[in-house]
Amino acid sequence: MISQLEKEITLRYLKTRKKDGFLNIISIFSFIGISLGVAVLIIVMSVMNGFRTELVDKIVGFNPHAVIKTYDLPINENLFKNSSLINLSETFVYSNSGEGVLINKDYTKGLLLRGYLAKDFEKLSVVKNANFYGNRKLNPKYISIGKELSFNYNIEIGDKVLIMSPNGVETIIGNLPKQETYIVDSIFDSEIADFDLNVAFINLNDLESFFNLKKDKRNLEIYLKNPKNIETTKKKLEKIFKDYYTHTWSDLNKSLFSALKVERNVMFIILSLIIIVAAFNIISGLTILVKNKTREIAILKSIGVQNKSISKIFFMVGFLIGSLATIFGILIGVLFSIYVENIRQFLSNTFNITLFPEEIYFLSKMPSEINPYSIIIIAICSIIITTIVSIYPALKASRMNTVKALKYE
């Protein structure tokens, strides 16, 4: 417990006094450093959380949530009646894919062609999107291309495009690449430039004929009710489709999310150093405070105040500076995280600079997602650091030989 005397002395030592000018400067810098460290850490973590969430939403919106691939046997359609699958899935469609080359007299462009039946194509999230232009049914001999491909190569709805397959056709003069002409029937916008530039959709029957694929080798794409809970869902799907290979949107983008996680952890460590450096200023401040209060410590000891109480007083001074700085930093960090997009727009308009270019990040605004768990972790770490650095000066104060110290004052 903290006695009334200890509280009063602690609060008195925290108050500004003119003769303690240098000490006050150190305390202020410690407070500002810890506050800034906590605030910046919260802002950076919030923006990175927001960026990851936006990225997941875009990937989930464009890619199948789970794909069941066959080994040798075609997919058993009786499994579609499984109650667990019905509860997990929103819809499922057959698909297949192949790599082709878009040919023009001025350019060639490699494409990943994904095939769907006409009735299934309109079930896809990217087709339901408001940014989809044209026919939502994928009829034979028609193709749907991405916005980036359309823009970069000046291809419009109604244009004809020539696609070449690596699978050859036997002729009297040898093996020649297979070529087919398709009419652009629609343009999609997934808001991910790589997808829009490198992926196109054609009718599944056309794709199988073009790439000499068998119908019993079709993949089953599953679109889930809760695609973000993918790890748990994958285990359930593997039990249902135990004779087939299951992979998910998370598996396809594992390296990307691993890189984001590493970057997030590195940023946390680097920014935590700001808090640590600022916290070490508390040691300097408390050490000077102990030196300045030598006479008062001697008086306290002479009237019977125990060493334990003296160490507690100086410990609480450091602890309060660190705790108040942490709370202030959390408030600043949360406010900035909430209004980070408004701040970005203000700075961009005021200084005529682009802080978050859409053509690089493919996001129209700076994302931010405040995670209460992360804030709690940051707050605990900050308070623990400031608590630890307050221990040494507090012990030094309690163990001071005041008679010897006063002799040299």
The tokens describing 343, both together, are: 């701040």
- CB within 8 A of 206, min separation 6: which ones? 115, 140, 141, 180, 182
242 in any annotated domain: no
250 in any annotated domain: no
Total number of domains in the chain: 2
Predicted confidence (pLDDT) per residue in 77-121, tens digit = 888 888 888 888 888 899 999 999 998 777 889 999 999 998 889
Query: 78 and 37: one domain?
Result: no
249 in any annotated domain: no
Containing structural domain, residue 18? 4-56+257-407
Predicted confidence (pLDDT) per residue in 126-168, tens digit = 888 768 889 888 899 999 999 989 998 899 999 999 998 877 6
> Which residue bears the tokens 């998910």?
248
Predicted confidence (pLDDT) per residue in 312-344, tens digit = 887 888 888 888 889 999 999 999 999 888 888
Task: Give, in order, the Cα–Cα distances in Å from 203 to each of 99, 124, 191.
Answer: 14, 14, 23
* Confidence at residue 124, expressed as pLDDT on a 0 to 100 scale: 87
Query: 211 and 73: one domain?
Result: yes
Strands 142-146 and 174-188: parallel
> Which residue bears the tokens 């008086």?
299
Question: Crossing angle for the helix pair 254-292 and 21-62, nearest 10 degrees?
Answer: 170
Q: Which residues are registered as beta bridge partners of 248?
A: 66
Per residue, the 3-state secondary structure of 352-408, as one string, reads CCCCCCHHHHCCCCCCCCCCHHHHHHHHHHHHHHHHHHHHHHHHHHHCCCHHHHHHC
How much is the pTM? 0.72
Query: 369 and 316: one domain?
Result: yes
Query: 270 and 401: one domain?
Result: yes
Query: 70 and 219: one domain?
Result: yes
Query: 309 and 402: one domain?
Result: yes
Task: Give, in order, the Cα–Cα distances in Å from 347 to each of 239, 336, 351.
Answer: 53, 13, 6
Query: 52 and 89: one domain?
Result: no
